[in-house]
Amino acid sequence: MKFTFAHNNFNVTNLEQSIAFYQEALGLVETRRIQPESGDFTIVFLGDAATPHLLELTWLKEHPQAYDLGENEFHLAMRVDDFEAAHAKHQEMGCICFENPAMGIYFIHDPDNYWIEIIPAD
C-alpha cells in the first residue's frame, strides 16, 4: 500500500478574499470548485501548477464567525525560488507574522490567520 498527499484544507470565512490572498501572496490558482445548488458550502481547490498538492478552501454558509485556530501550531510550508523577492512582497502586503532569521525562514498569515511558512528552495 502506498499513500500520497492530495490536499490540505483550511475553512475560511470569506472565500473570495482568501482566494485573492493566495493568488497574490503565493501565486496559487483555482483548479476546481464544488458548489451545490443549495449554496450551503463552497469548496475551492488551489494549486501551484508545479506539484499535484492542492490547498482546499472550504466556505460554510452556516459558519460566518471566525474559526478557532487554537494555538495555531499547524501550518503549510511553501518553497520559493527567490526568497528575498518573496519576503519583500509579503512585507509590502503586511502579512508577515513571524520571522526566524537564524533558520532562514518566515511565516505569513492569511485573512483567517492560518500560517504559511516560507522557505528558500534547496
Give me the active site residues, please.
117
Smallest Cα–Cα separation from 108: which of 118, 119, 120?
118
- Spatial separation of the C-alpha atoms in residues 50 and 37, rounded to whole Å: 32
- C-alpha–C-alpha distance, residues 6 and 55, integer Å: 9
Distance separating alpha carbons of residues 48 and 3, to the nearest angstrom: 21
User: Rounded to an integer, what distance in angstroms lies between the CA atom of residue 69 and that of residue 71?
Assistant: 6
Number of Cβ atoms within 10 Å of the Cβ of 10:
19
Retrieve residue 116's grid coordinates. Answer: 504559511
